[in-house]
C-alpha cells in the first residue's frame, strides 16, 4: 500500500473515531512519504485529537509548510494542551507582528489569552494592528466580533465609535451599533438603529428577536420568528421560539420542548470506569487558568480538543457507555416529526459527536443559560460533585432546563430542574436553554458532549 492509501485509511479511521488505528495508518504514511505536507498535517492532528503530545509533529509540519496558518494554530493548540500556553501565545503574537492581517491568528490568540486568565489582553494584538492600519475593515470586524463573543457590549459600543472616528462609514458599523444599543437596554435607540440597518435583516434577525423579547414585544418577536424558521437560520432561532411561544401562550411551545421524553436521566456508574480514576484523568487535562471567550462557564475551566477522541482506556470505556446511552435515548423518543428540530433527524445512523469536553467549576461556579447550535442532543455527565453546604439554596449546583438567559429579562421559570448525581448522565435537545445554579464551595467536574445532527 502506498503513502496516499495509508493516509486515506487514516482519514477514514479518524472519521469513525478510531484514533488508535488512525495513528498507525498515518505512521505508515509518514514513513513512506516523510516530506508530504498533507500527511504530516494529518499525522499531527490525529495525534493531538488522540490526546497525545503532538508538539513535535506540528513543528515538523510547520517546517514543511511555514506559511500554513492552520498548522501554526494546530501547534498553538498542542502547546496549550501540554501546559505550554504562554509559549503558544508568545509565538502567535510574534507572527502577528509580522503578519497583522492574519485575522484567524488574532482570533485564536485572543482565545488563548482568555484561557490563560488574561482577559485584559484579548484585544491587544488587534488594537496594535489597527493603530498601524486603521483603515482595514477586516481588523475592525474581527475586533467587533471578539467583543460580541465576550458579550461585552459596552466595549463593543466604544470600539464602534472608534471605528467611525477612524473613517469606517455606514453601513459597515450599523449592525454592530444596533446590537450594542439593544443589548445595553437602550430600547428607543435600538429601534431606530435596527430600522436603519433593515437591509441587513438576515444578519440581525436573532439580535432583533432578542431586543423585542427584552422590551416586552413577544407578539412582534413571534412574527419575526415564524419568518426566520423558514430560512437556513432556523437552528439558531429555535431557542427563541421556545421562549416566545411560552410567553404568548402558543401551543407550539408544548410541542417544541415539553414532552417528558426529551429530557432523560440515566445512571451510568456501573458502565463507567471508577469515577475517582476518571476524575483524576480529567483534572490533569484542565491546564487552562481562565474561561473560553464564548462559552457558558463562569468560575471554572473547560478542556480543549475532542475529549471523547482520546485513546486512554478510561476515556474509551466512558465513550462506549455514553454511546450506548445516546442510542437508548434516541430509541425512546416520540415518533418522527419532519417539522420538529429534535424529531426530524434520522435514527438509523451511528452516533457522532460534534464536540466533547470536560468542565471543572470551583466555588461560586456555574453555567450561564445557553444553547449549543452545533448539536442535536446535548448532555451533562457528572464525575465529581461538591457537597451542599448547610446555608446553601436547596437548588445549589442543579441543572436548569428551559429557562432563558437572564440578559433577556423574561419572567419564565425553568421547564425542569434536576439535582445532579455522580455517575449520572442527562440528555436533552441542544436548542433547549440550559445552565446551572451556583454552588458555594468544592468542585463540580463533568463531561459534556454534543451529538451531531444525523446525516
Under a CB-based contact definition with an 8 Å cutoff, are residues 324 and 271 in contact?
yes
- Residue 305, pLDDT score: 83
CA neighbor of 380 nearest in space, from 370, 388, 394, 390: 370
Task: Please determine, for residue 14, whether its predicted confidence score (pLDDT) is greater than 80.
Answer: yes
Task: Please determine, for residue 42, whether its predicted confidence score (pLDDT) is greater than 70.
Answer: yes
Q: How many CB atoms lie within 10 A of CB 335?
A: 5
Task: Please determine, for residue 203, whether its predicted confidence score (pLDDT) is greater than 80.
Answer: no
Better pLDDT: 320 or 305 = 320
- Measured CA angle at 42 (ends 36, 48), to 5 deg: 135
Give the pLDDT mean for 410-429: 95
Q: How confident is the model at residue 138 (pLDDT cuts 50, 70, 90)?
A: very high
The full set of domains in the chain, from first to last, is 260-451 (2.60.120.620)
Give the pLDDT mean for 31-52: 96
Give the pLDDT mean for 199-211: 81
Under a CB-based contact definition with an 8 Å cutoff, are residues 162 and 155 in contact?
no
Task: Please determine, for residue 201, whether its predicted confidence score (pLDDT) is greater than 70.
Answer: no
Q: What is the 3-state secondary structure (H, E, C) of the chain?
A: CCHHHHHHHHHHHHHCCCHHHHHHHHHHHHHHCCCCHHHHHHHHHHHHHCCCCCHHHHHHHHHHCCCCHHHHHHHHHHHHHCCCHHHHHHHHHHHHHHCCCCHHHHHHHHHHHHHCCCHHHCCHHHHHHHHHCCCCHHHHHHHHHHHHHHCCHHHHHHHHHHHHHCCCCCCCCHHHHHHHHHHCCCHHHHHHHHHHCHHHHHHHHHHHHHHHHHCCCHHHHHHHHHHHCCCCCHHHHHHHHHHHHHHHCCCHHHHHHCCHHHCEEEECHHHCCCHHHHHHHHHHHCCCCCCCCCCCEEEEEECCCCHHHCCCHHHHHHHHHHHHHHHHHHHCCCCCCCCCCCCCCCCCCCCCEEEEEEEEEEEEEEECCECCCCCCEEEEEEEECCCCCCCCCCCCCCEEECCCCHHHCCCCCCCEEECCCCCEEEEEECCCCEEECCCCCCCEEEEEEEECCCC
Task: Please determine, for residue 112, whether its predicted confidence score (pLDDT) is greater than 60.
Answer: yes
The reply to whether the predicted model has a pTM over 0.75 is yes
Q: How confident is the model at residue 431 (pLDDT cuts 50, 70, 90)?
A: very high
Amino acid at each position: 500500500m502506498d503513502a496516499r492509501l495509508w493516509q486515506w485509511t487514516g482519514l477514514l479511521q479518524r472519521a469513525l473515531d478510531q484514533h488508535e488505528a488512525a495513528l498507525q495508518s498515518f505512521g505508515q504514511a509518514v514513513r513512506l512519504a516523510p516530506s508530504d505536507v498533507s500527511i504530516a498535517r494529518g499525522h499531527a492532528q490525529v495525534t493531538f485529537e488522540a490526546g497525545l503530545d503532538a508538539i513535535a509533529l506540528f513543528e515538523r509540519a510547520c517546517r514543511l509548510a511555514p506559511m500554513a496558518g492552520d498548522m501554526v494554530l494546530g501547534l498553538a493548540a498542542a502547546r496549550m494542551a501540554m501546559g505550554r500556553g504562554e509559549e503558544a501565545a508568545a509565538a502567535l503574537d510574534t507572527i502577528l507582528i509580522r503578519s497583522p492581517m492574519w485575522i484567524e491568528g488574532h482570533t485564536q490568540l485572543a482565545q488563548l489569552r482568555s484561557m490563560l486568565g488574561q482577559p485584559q489582553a484579548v484585544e491587544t494584538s488587534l488594537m496594535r494592528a489597527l493603530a498601524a492600519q486603521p483603515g482595514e475593515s477586516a481588523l475592525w470586524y474581527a475586533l467587533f466580533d471578539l467583543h460580541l463573543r465576550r458579550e461585552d457590549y459596552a466595549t463593543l459600543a466604544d470600539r464602534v465609535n472608534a471605528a467611525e472616528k477612524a473613517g469606517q462609514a455606514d453601513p459597515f458599523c450599523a449592525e454592530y451599533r444596533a446590537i450594542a444599543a439593544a443589548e445595553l437596554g437602550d430600547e428607543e435607540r435600538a429601534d431606530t438603529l435596527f430600522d436603519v440597518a433593515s437591509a441587513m435583516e438576515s444578519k440581525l434577525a436573532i439580535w432583533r428577536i432578542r431586543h423585542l423579547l427584552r422590551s416586552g414585544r413577544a407578539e412582534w418577536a413571534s412574527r419575526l420568528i415564524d419568518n426566520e424558521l423558514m430560512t437556513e437560520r432556523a437552528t439558531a432561532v429555535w431557542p427563541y421560539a421556545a421562549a416566545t411561544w411560552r410567553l404568548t401562550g402558543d401551543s407550539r411551545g408544548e410541542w417544541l420542548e415539553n414532552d417528558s421524553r426529551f429530557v432523560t436521566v440515566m445512571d451510568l456508574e456501573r458502565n463507567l470506569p471508577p469515577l475517582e480514576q476518571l476524575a483524576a484523568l480529567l483534572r490533569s487535562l484542565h491546564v487552562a487558568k481562565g474561561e473560553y471567550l464564548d462559552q457558558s462557564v463562569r468560575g471554572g475551566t473547560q478542556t480543549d480538543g475532542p475529549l471523547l477522541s482520546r485513546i486512554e482506556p478510561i476515556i474509551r470505556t466512558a465513550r462506549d457507555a455514553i454511546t450506548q446511552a445516546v442510542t437508548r435515548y434516541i430509541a425512546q423518543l416520540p415518533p418522527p416529526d419532519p417539522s420538529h428540530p429534535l424529531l426530524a433527524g434520522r435514527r438509523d445512523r451511528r452516533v457522532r459527536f460534534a464536540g466533547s469536553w470536560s468542565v471543572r467549576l470551583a466555588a461560586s461556579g456555574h453555567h450561564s443559560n445557553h444553547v449549543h447550535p452545533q448539536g442535536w442532543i446535548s448532555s451533562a455527565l457528572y464525575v465529581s460533585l461538591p457537597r451542599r453546604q448547610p446555608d446553601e439554596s436547596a437548588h445549589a449546583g442543579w441543572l436548569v432546563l428551559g429557562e432563558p438567559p437572564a440578559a433577556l429579562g423574561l419572567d419564565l421559570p425553568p421547564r425542569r430542574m434536576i439535582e445532579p448525581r455522580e455517575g449520572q448522565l442527562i440528555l436533552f435537545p441542544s436548542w433547549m436553554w440550559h445552565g446551572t445554579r451556583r454552588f458555594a464551595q468544592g468542585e463540580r467536574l463533568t463531561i459534556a458532549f454534543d451529538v451531531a445532527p444525523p446525516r
